[in-house]
Structures are given as C-alpha cells and as structure tokens.
A = this chain, B = another copy of it.
C-alpha cells in the first residue's frame, strides 16, 4: 500500500519570511526524523516530496507507506510544528487537512463508494487506486483510514480463502455402536405425522407436550451431566439486541444475511395508526409495505449467537483474579436464524432453542474449562445418550461470522482460539461413511480476545482475558437421539429410559382432525403404547 496526497497546514497568519526560509530545513528534519520514527523499512515511512508556502499555509506533498500512513504523517507534522515552530514564531495552527489523497494498492478490490471520504476508485492492471475526498482534521483523527486498510486486507484474504474448501479435521470419534442401525426413519417426519409438532410458519413449529417433554429431557441431561458439575450458573440473557452489540461481536458484518431485525413502532399515540387500522379492519389483511410506514427503521436484531449479552454485560468492567473465571449458561428463550432454504423439520429451522454456555477468564482458565467441557461432553454423548458421534476442528466459526477472515493456520493446536464441531450420524439419511449423513449438533469455541477486545473487558493487572462458548441446540440433539434410538424407550440407553419411568409422559393432543392422517393416528397409538410401558 502506498499513500500520496497534500498535507495542508494552515496558520492563523501569513507565514513570516524568516520561517519561509527555514521550511526547507524543517522538511529535511521531518523526513529524516519525524516521519521515519519507529519504522524499519524505508518504504513504510512517510516522506515529504515537495512543499509550497502560500500566504498562511504550507502544503506538503507527501508519500507514505504501511507504517506511517498519510494521516499519521499529517498528525506528526502538525505536532512537530505545534511544539517546535509555533512558539518561536507566535504562530497558531488553525487547521490541518489532507487534499487529493490517494491510496494505491496491489490487487483489485471492490469497496463501497458510500464510505465517508472515498471520491472514486479505479481498478486496473492488478492495482486499485482509491481517490479520497479532502479529509478534515477531525476525520484524520478517526480510525477510518486504518479500518479501511484492514477491510481491504481482509477482503484480499477472503478472496484467497473463499475458493478453498472449509477446514475440517477429525479430532475424535466414538466407536461404531450398531452394525445395523436400530432405527432408520426420519424422526422429523414421524413427529409431524403423529402430531407432536405442527408447522406454525416457515421454519417455525409449535411443540405439543410430548415433544416438549423430549426436548426437556435432553436439556435436563445436558444441564445436569455437563453444565452444572462444572460449576456453571444459570443466568438470563435478553433475546433482542441493539445493533451496536452486533457491530462489536462482528455478526452484523459477517452474517447479516441470516439475521432477523426488529423495529419499534413510530409512536405510542394510537391515533396515528387509525388509517392503517381501518384498512386492516375492512380488508382483513396487513400489508407489510403499509405497516413499514408506521414503524421505525430497524434498531435491534433477534438473538442470534445467544452469548452476545454476556460480553455486553462485562463491557468496560474490570475484573480481578479473585473473581475469575466466570461461568454462566442461559436457556431463557429462542434464537433466530433466517435460512433461505434447506429447512427440514425441526432439524433446520428459523426459530430454535439452545442452552448457551459461556465463560470468561485468563487464557489458561478458558482453555482448561473448554477441556473440562470436552470431557463431560464425551461422557454425555457416550454414556448418557449412547450416540455415534465425532468431533472436528473446523474453520473457526467466528472468523467467518464476525466478518473477519484469518489467515490459514499451519499447525493444529486445539488449545488456541478455534472451534470444534460436534457431529452425529443420522441413520435415516444413509450410511455413516458419507459425510452428508452427519448432522452438526453443537460446537465449542475458544474466542481468544475476539470479544474481550471490542467489548473492552479488562483485567485489573492488565492481563489478557479470553472467552469461550458452547451451544447446545436442543432440537438437534433430540432429533439425533430419536434418529439413532427410535421412539421405543425400551431401546433407549439407561438414563433416558429411567427418566421416562420417573417423569409421567404427557397426553398428546388428539382431535377429530388431529393428527391429520389415518396413518399418523395409528402410529401415534403405537408409540404411545411404548411410552406407557
């Protein structure tokens, strides 16, 4: 990256002759000291190529590099004049700006022309030339240019990386537990057929008492066998977040295409809605385009990763060793992900339920907690649910989700920031040998400083703080359990079988038209008989 542009320093009066004669000397000093300070490679520093004195201004035509960028150079020049020149000549500095700024980059980039100070972009012959609007001092001080460069750098990496297959590296797997699967049907279809779930809207379902019972069972085991033994404490996180939170977590930049946004009404005064209400009343329709006029632009988004409020809670707080690590879990409401397609039963939905486990501490604490969780997870999958599972190290989800792409890692170190996916085999889909017959049922991550930095979560002695999280998607675990073990509790592992014995199973919803099909009604009676035994 190369910068070029005119740094204009404006004084409160005409430059005295005495100073005019010295500017040459000053520029030499700036070039050999001020603009190269701290820089190892000459090309990464700033350099004044030419200057002009005009009335009360000095214009420095400057080139700059990656380390002393043009705006850094501008500030360094101003500060030098402020400390060393102004007092001597009783010259006040009235302004600083960069005119005709240019950023030159190797590589071809597309970037929004709507950005605050971009005038135009030319892409040719493998180079991108960004022409900047004039930049005022207050803009120079904002980190806009630095962020723009970071953005371009990441776009470059993303382009490189986007072409490659997703990273997926097997870490560990269960034994093959059944030569012949016990059950080969699609639990989603059965659940719908027997009326334990009913479609509510696209990607949303109504869970009747029997399916709620099963979800609660899975959740209960997870909380009792994995979460509580490790000392996690239940908290309740809000389920709608201001956009600012999404900026800090990075989701707005990385996964905006699958987030659902919330808008508040324009006014509390019901009379402003009269026309709309009349219209809805008479036509019995609610056209979204009309409604749009009565609501504010979206200021919030619905629960997406579920752990967001945890980071926001600790934002700007200072913690000490005595009170670290902090471990919480939340299961107080649903998450929402808009999926364009591929919805399937309750396996892939828009509204789903999750136990979100999240922790904060020093790096060694965060890693240790993750490792303890892995141990409990293995016990949970093997001994409690008796599943066929496997774990894989995957491209850290947040690198993608947060709109940041990291450069490829050379060697796998699972005690560094990253994500492990939990997958389970769904026999109904086909043989275990085929990757597409496995379902991601959860994951566990170490984030490093990914969240502690933007949320400014600090340690009182300046030590680094990390976070970690793990999401337990209740619907997916339940589907997996049913897909591998079926609907007859006699074939279930011990703990779930006991649970059924000890907790009375609810009465399913039945009616003349429900479940809908004759086949479904028969199947329901058959399954109910299993549960009654």
List chain B residues, Cβ under 8 A from A320. Answer: 511-512
User: What does the 1/0 interface line of A95-134 toward B look like (CB < 8 Å)?
Assistant: 0000000000000001111111000000000000000000
A140 at interface (Cβ–Cβ under 8 A)? no
Q: How far is the CA of A286 from the CA of B241 in the complex (A)?
A: 13
CB-CB under 8 A from A236, the residues of chain B are: 206-207, 211-212, 215, 353
Copies in the complex: 2
Set of chain B residues within 8 Å of A294, measured between Cβ atoms: 256
**Chain B residues near A506 (CB-CB < 8 A):** 233-234
Assembled-state Cα–Cα distance A339/B273 (Å): 16
Q: Which residues of B contact A166 (CB under 8 A)?
A: none
Q: Check A17 for interface membership: any CB of B closer than 8 A.
A: no
Cβ of A256 and Cβ of B238 under 8 Å apart? no
Q: Are B256 and A206 in contact (CB under 8 A)?
A: no
Question: A286 — which chain B residues lie within 8 A by C-beta?
Answer: 243-244, 246-247, 252
B-side contacts of A211, CB under 8 Å: 236
> Known interface pairs A243-B286, A333-B333. Does A213 touch B234 (Cβ–Cβ under 8 Å)?
yes
Known contacts being A257-B269, A262-B302, is A238 close to B281, with CB within 8 Å? no
Q: Do A151 and B253 have beta carbons less than 8 Å apart? A: no
CB neighbours (8 Å) of A144 from chain B are 282-283
Q: How far is the CA of A99 from the CA of B237 in the complex (A)?
A: 59
CA distance A243 to B201 in the complex (A): 11
Beta-carbon contact of B268 and A340 below 8 Å: yes
Contact with B along A402-432 (1 / 0, CB 8 A): 0100000000000000000000000000000
A277→B256 contact, CB < 8 A: yes
Q: Which residues of B contact A115 (CB under 8 A)?
A: 278-279, 282-283
Q: How many residues of A contact B (CB 8 A)?
A: 117
Residues in chain B near residue A328, CB distance under 8 A: 209
The main secondary structure of chain A at its interface with chain B is mixed
**A206-B235, A246-B286 known; A111-B278 Cβ under 8 A:** yes
Which B residues are CB-close (under 8 A) to A319? Answer: 511-512, 514
Residue in B147, B302, B323 whose CB lies within 8 Å of A284: B147
Task: Give 17 A-B pairs besides A216-B234, A256-B294, A258-B268 with Cβ atoms closer than 8 angstroms.
Answer: A111-B278, A114-B275, A200-B313, A201-B241, A206-B235, A209-B235, A209-B328, A238-B334, A239-B239, A239-B334, A253-B280, A256-B277, A257-B273, A264-B338, A291-B298, A319-B511, A319-B512
Q: For the complex of A and B, list the 10 residue pairs with the smallest distance between their C-beta atoms, beginning with the closest.
A: A333-B333, A268-B340, A288-B297, A112-B275, A112-B278, A209-B233, A207-B236, A292-B297, A243-B286, A318-B512
A residues touching B (Cβ–Cβ < 8 Å)? 110-116, 143-144, 147-148, 150-151, 198, 200-201, 204-209, 211-213, 215-216, 233-244, 246-247, 252-253, 256-265, 267-270, 272-286, 288-289, 291-292, 294-300, 302, 309, 312-314, 316-320, 322-323, 326, 328, 332-334, 336, 338-341, 351, 353, 403, 460, 506-507, 509-514
